[in-house]
Amino acid sequence: MRRLVVVLAVIGVLGFGTSRGLDWWNYNVYTPMAQSSQQVVFHIDGGELPLQISEDLYTQRLIRDRNAFDLYVRITNAGPKFEAGTFLLNRNMNMAQIIDALEHGRPDQLLVTIPEGFPLKFAPPPTTSPRRRIPPWRRHSISCLRGRPQPTRPLRGTCSRTPT
């Protein structure tokens, strides 16, 4: 009888601990920091480690717990997939959405290449919309850069012209 009580007590303590652990995980990963929408500019340098990214996210109050972020990144293997660049994040995004944005999102940057000898008056006007139409004279420079890491300085003569 005494052994049964001890076994039930151990099962109860383990169940309670598991319940509290799952509550902590769900609160940190799936609950946004704020209910109101507030945009935050977030920058990731090339080669920055997930530990440094978690520190930056924590100081900008985008995540609650650095340990939960590091654990989530290790479980999902998202660390090597983070893109370098400047991102526009929101305080009402939860941790899973932030990691997805840093992993699959497009940086808030645009690479513009004007061919040598091309008259500036024919160049497209600057725009802030990332969904603008790409002019036909520029499509070849974009298609040859697909799948390559972003250069730190402009590329000159490294891509062959490919029709799109």
**Count of domains in the chain?**
2
Reference 82, options 40, 110, 52; nearest CA is: 52
Are 76 and 29 contacting, i.e. CB atoms less than 8 angstroms apart? no
| Residue pLDDT, tens place only, 94-120 | 999 999 999 887 665 566 677 777 777
Phi, psi of 11 (to 5 degrees): -65, -40
Structure-token pair, residue 117 = 């000898």
Residues 40 and 95 in one domain: yes
Instruction: Return the pLDDT at 164.
Output: 46
Q: Is residue 7 part of a domain?
A: no
Residues 96 and 153 in one domain: no
Cα separation, 57 vs 51, in Å, equals 10
Structure-token pair, residue 71 = 């654990």
Cα separation, 115 vs 32, in Å, equals 45
Residues 78 and 114 in one domain: no
Q: Is residue 4 part of a domain?
A: no
Instruction: Return the pLDDT at 50.
Output: 92
Using a cut of 0.75, tell me whether the model's pTM lies above it: no
Round the CA-based radius of gyration of the chain to a whole number and report it.
23
Residues 54 and 100 in one domain: yes
Residues 35 and 92 in one domain: yes
**CATH number of the CATH domain containing 42:** 3.30.1490.480
Are 53 and 82 contacting, i.e. CB atoms less than 8 angstroms apart? yes
* Positions in the chain short of pLDDT 70: 106-112, 123-164
